[in-house]
Amino acid sequence: GQNIDQPTEMTATEGAIVQINCTYQTSGFNGLFWYQQHAGEAPTFLSYNVLDGLEEKGRFSSFLSRSKGYSYLLLKELQMKDSASYLCAPLNYGGSQGNLIFGKGTKLSVKP
């Protein structure tokens, strides 16, 4: 089966660091995406990991462990504009077909 688990909500303080975890079970895994979605807006791409390890991109970093079915998104120096939902999306690929399976998202609230 296919299952993605991430916390529903998180709260953090401006300037702090927050880690959003995601565990997944999929077949035909071919990488994992993180998307950011502000309320009332379309999701936008943050990161893609296909190999184990940490990918750093400015204030945002994403980590993947394929053997553990685990990923996290790390946000540093939080800003108010980081208040949004963060979607974990493993890429499922098999039989020449693929699809992104999205988690229900983690709603992050950044407080002053």
Partner 1 sequence: KAGVTQTPRYLIKTRGQQVTLSCSPISGHRSVSWYQQTPGQGLQFLFEYFSETQRNKGNFPGRFSGRQFSNSRSEMNVSTLELGDSALYLCASSLEALGSGANVLTFGAGSRLTVL
Q: Which residue in 13, 19, 30, 79 binds partner 1 (CB under 8 A)?
A: 30
9-17, 37-45, 56-64, 72-80 -> range binding partner 1 (CB under 8 A): 37-45
Task: Indicate the DSSP class of residue 80.
Answer: G
50 binds partner 1 per the rule CB under 8 A: yes
Query: Which pair of tokens denotes residue 38?
Result: 């502000």
Task: Indicate the DSSP class of residue 67.
Answer: T
59, 46 contact by CB (below 8 A): no
48 binds partner 1 per the rule CB under 8 A: yes
Query: How far is Cα 37 from Cα 42, in angstroms, rounded to an integer?
Result: 6
Closest to partner 1 by CB, 16 vs 50, is 50
| Residues between 75 and 104 that touch partner 1 (CB under 8 A) | 87, 89, 91-93, 96-104
70 binds partner 1 per the rule CB under 8 A: no
94, 76 contact by CB (below 8 A): no
Q: Which residue in 41, 52, 56, 77 binds partner 1 (CB under 8 A)?
A: 41
Task: Indicate the DSSP class of residue 15.
Answer: T
For residue 16, the one-letter residue type is A
* Footprint on this chain of partner 1 (rule: CB under 8 A): 30-31, 33, 41-45, 48, 50, 87, 89, 91-93, 96-105
